[in-house]
Amino acid sequence: MLLWPRSFVYKNATSCAFLVSSFKLQMKHGLLLLVICLAQFSCKKETIFSNEGVITGVDVRLCTCVVTCPCTCSSLIFHFTNRGDTTRVILENLGTIQLPTGVHYPVYIKLNWINSTRCNIQAVKITDYKID
């Protein structure tokens, strides 16, 4: 029977215990980091909209439109609902808004927009929107 010196056995046992406890600590930190990353990247970010509005229908009047200017007719009838001025607003980029098939008016939307003025016509350019 081969006997190891007592100091060798004790030294190796404490080294092994240290490695095991260090590995467990690293696993806990790794698992915590994984949970934090999953929570951060799996949650959908909610867009904050600056205004609310309503599309009350389609303006089907026919009128001439200059190519470089936004049309003032034959478009959606849009009004802001959370501002003092509720007059009709000309939408410059109509292709941005995708209304569902068989839509029933009024359609309430939340939107972000920027001012646009071309050919002395005040319009808004929608940058982001959500249909309520």
Structure tokens at 48: 């904050």
Helical residues (DSSP H) of the chain, grouped into ranges: 6-42
As a whole number, the mean pLDDT across the chain is 75
Please give the Cα distance from 124 to 7 (Å, whole number): 82
Compute the distance between CA of residue 76 and CA of residue 34 in angstroms, rounded to an integer. Answer: 47
Q: Which residue has the higher pLDDT, 14 or 33?
A: 33
Each residue's pLDDT tens digit, 58-107: 877 656 565 656 555 557 888 899 887 778 888 877 777 888 888 889 99
The most confident of 47-56, 67-76, 116-125, by mean pLDDT: 47-56
Specify the pLDDT at position 4.
53
The model's confidence at residue 110, banded by pLDDT at 50, 70 and 90, is very high
Each residue of 117-131: b (16+ CB within 10 Å) or e? eeeeeebbebeebee
Please compute the mean of the pLDDT values over residues 111-120 and round it to a whole number.
82
Q: Which two three-digit tokens encode residue 9?
A: 């056995």
Task: Kindly state the tokens that stand for 38.
Answer: 């999953």
